[in-house]
A and B are shown apart, each in its own frame.
Chain A
């Protein structure tokens, strides 16, 4: 069976590698992706030249993700949400007998005390910095590398760090199950809400330009920039909540207690 797998992998690898000589070389200006087909302007060329005049967003990656291909990103967020719900459905166990899966990790010796103080103080100092950085990444996502996914993961990781350094209960006291489930739904609701608002104002779904009617002192172009920030915040909510939910359920076998 192992040999069969090796043969299949080698065959697929050779097939894929044999296609690589036909690829255009890195940064080739005459490749179809850069020069367009049959004289037309290619999509990537359009993004590079027109993104700033269309949306006033310097980071083209975020503009493509949140505006030009907003529909795709919306369902990427739904995929994250579905992953969290699946983990919840499989692992979460309510009530029942609480068998301690492992002896309690609390070490009462003097050395253990020292270690706990050092780790606790270090985390107390750096968790606020991590969270501030995460908020910066979300809020600045359309001007520098970053955005909702990255910022959300960093914000979720700060809560995971809290659970790792102290106890899972310490993190759950700040970010309880009720709250993270609500936050995950609110994130999806914000994103789709932006899309439905556009429909309500008689434009296409997620065509943000029309939202300038609701935002004071903006034109069609700035409305797209601000709406991108709005949907990124929605993505960040969902990703933060789901990352912490997955960790909390994995580390405590779904009991949300005695996790490490």
Chain B
């Protein structure tokens, strides 16, 4: 466990989480959530939980982003709130 590496990833995690909430374009929000999943996957791999990191990379960064984009494609792209 490298604490400085953890801190850098955690800062980026908070930044991506905040951006995905603030951004009005839902497609960008979905993509930034994919980035968030990938960062948390890095954090878990670095802490030694390789199985969890693998699942997060496959499910979080891969398939769930595709599901969200497939759903947004059939709705409006702009957030109303």
Residues of A within 8 A of B (CB): 26-27, 59, 61-62, 101, 137, 145-147, 149-150, 153-154, 156-157, 160, 164, 243, 246-247, 250-251, 253, 260
Contact = CB atoms under 8 A, between A and B. Distances in A.
A27 B48 CA distance: 11
B61 to A, nearest CB: 11
Contacts of A62: 51
A26 B67 contact: no
Contacts of A27: 1
A250 B62 CA distance: 16
B54 A146 contact: yes
A251 to B, nearest CB: 4
A63 to B, nearest CB: 11
Contacts of B9: none
Interface in B61-81: 62-63, 66-67, 70-71, 73-74
Contact of B66 (A147, A154, A247, A253): A247
Contacts of A157: 58, 62-63, 66
Contacts of A164: 66
B51 A160 contact: no
Nearest to A164: B66
Interface in B28-81: 50-51, 53-55, 58-59, 62-63, 66-67, 70-71, 73-74
Contact of A156 (B54, B63, B73): B63
Contacts of B67: 246-247, 250
Contacts of B51: 59, 61-62, 145-147, 150
Contacts of A156: 63
B63 A160 contact: yes
Given A101-B74, A246-B67, A251-B70, A153 B1 contact: no
Contacts of B74: 101, 250-251, 253
A153 B63 contact: yes
B71 A153 contact: no
Listed from nearest, the 5 A-B pairs whose CB atoms lie closest are A145-B50, A251-B70, A153-B58, A61-B51, A250-B70
